[in-house]
Amino acid sequence: MSQVHEQYVEVAPGVRVWTERRGAPDAPALLLVMGAQASGLGWPEPLVEALAARHHVIRYDHRDTGRSDRPFDENPYAVTDLARDAIAVLDGLGVERAHLVGMSLGGMLCQLVLADHPERVLSATLMGTCALSETPYVRPDGVRVPVAELPGIAPEILEMWSRPVEDHGPEAELDRRVEHWRLLSGDQLPFDAPYFRELERGIIHHAGRHLESSAHALADSSGMVRTAELAANRVPVLVVSATAEPVFPVPHPQHIAQVVAGARLVEIPGMGHALPPAVLRPLGKAILEHAAGGAVESVPAGR
C-alpha cells in the first residue's frame, strides 16, 4: 500500500474538510469527487491504490460528510459551493491542475469545475451522472428528446429515498445502507452484500457516527446549468456508460457525450450506480488510459 497523508483544508471561512493523498507527490494529481452525502471513503481502496500507481491521488470528505465540518444546519450552502470546495482542496494542497474523476453528484461538480475553471483540469472522467446542459438529446434516429423527457430514477430507489431515516443503531443503519447499495447496483451483476457492509462499516468508523446528514439533499441546486460552457469545452472528457445504471440510466451518458465538446464514451457492461469489486479493474483501466491520453476500450465488468 502506498503511503497515505491526511490533512485538513479550509474551503470557506471556518469550514474545514478532510483530505487524503497517496502516490508519488510529483506524479500528475488526480482528484476523486464522490456523490451526495458520501464520504471520500466511498472510493474503494483497490481502485484508489490502482490509480495511485501512476498518480498523486486525492480523495476528500465533502462538507457534512465523514470527518469534515458540518456547517449546513447553521449556515446552509448551495451545491455550487461544493464545486468551489473541489478547487479549494486543490489550492489548499498546492495543486495547480488535476485529473478529475466524479461519480453521481461528484460528476456534476466536475462539470461545474470544467465549465468555470477549465485551467485547473487536466482531464475529467464522469460516471453515474447527468449533463448540466439544456441541449436536447439526439437519438440515433435523429429525434431530439428534451432533457426533461429523459429516463428518470428507478421507482424503487425514489421510494427508498422518500422514507425518513430513523436511528435504530449502527447495525440497523448498516442494514439500510446495504439495501440501498443493492438497489443502486442494478440487476446485471451478483450483489456482494458483505463487501458493501464492510465498506460502510469502515465509513462509519471513519466518520465517528452512523447517521448520515441530509445536507446535500437540502442544499440549493439552482444555478448549475452550464450549456454554453460545456459546448465550448476543450478539456479531455471521458463519460462512463454503466449498462445497469438505475439513477441516470442510458441514454444519460450518451447525452453528456453529445453536449460536452470532445467527450468520449466508454461502456462498462454490468456496472450500476455503485463500485463493487467486479467493476473496479475495468473502471481503473479506463480512467488510467484516459488520463494518459490514450485510447479507451470498453471492458466487461469482472475482467
Q: Does residue 1 carry a pLDDT above 80? A: no
Decide if 54 contacts 105 (C-beta within 8 A).
Answer: no
pLDDT at residue 250 tops 70? yes
Q: Where are the domains of the chain?
A: 4-150+214-291
8 A C-beta contact, residue 299 and residue 285:
yes
Q: pLDDT for 52-105, tens place per residue? A: 999 999 999 999 999 999 999 999 999 999 999 999 999 999 999 999 999 999
Q: Are 92 and 19 in contact (CB under 8 A)?
A: yes
Closest by CA to 31, choosing from 13, 9, 16, 14, is: 9
Residue 210 scores a pLDDT above 70:
yes
Contact 132, 115 (CB under 8 A): yes
Is residue 300 predicted with pLDDT exceeding 90? no
Task: Pinpoint the alpha helices (H) of 53-169.
Answer: 79-92, 105-116, 155-162
Give me the percent of the chain exceeding a pLDDT of 70.
96
- pLDDT beyond 70 at 297: no
Report H helices in the chain.
45-52, 79-92, 105-116, 155-162, 170-184, 193-207, 215-218, 227-231, 252-259, 277-291
| Mean per-residue pLDDT of the chain | 95
CA-atom Rg of the chain in angstroms: 18
User: What pLDDT, on the 0 to 100 scale, is given for residue 294?
Assistant: 61
Please write the tens of the pLDDT for every residue from 127-151: 999 999 999 999 999 999 999 999 9
What are 275-294's pLDDT values in tens digits?
Answer: 999 999 999 999 999 999 86
Q: Report percent pLDDT > 90 for the chain.
A: 92
Q: At residue 298, does pLDDT exceed 80?
A: no
**The CATH number of domain 4-150+214-291, selected from 3.40.50.1820, 3.40.50.620, 3.30.70.100, 3.40.50.300:** 3.40.50.1820
CA distances in angstroms from 157 to 160, 177, 180, listed in the order given: 5, 12, 8
Confidence of residue 164 (pLDDT cuts 50, 70, 90): confident
> Is the predicted pLDDT of residue 247 greater than 90, yes or no?
yes
**What pLDDT does 296 receive?**
63
For the stretch 150-161, pLDDT in tens is 999 999 999 999
* Cell 439495501 -> residue: 179
Give pLDDT, residue 270: 97
How much is the pLDDT for 2? 75
Banded pLDDT at 302 (limits 50, 70, 90): low
In this predicted structure, the answer to whether residue 299 has a pLDDT above a threshold of 70 is no
| Global pTM value | 0.95
pLDDT of residue 190: 97
Q: How far is CA 12 from CA 27, 44, 73, 222, in A?
A: 27, 27, 16, 20
Tell me the sheet residues that pair with 15. 12
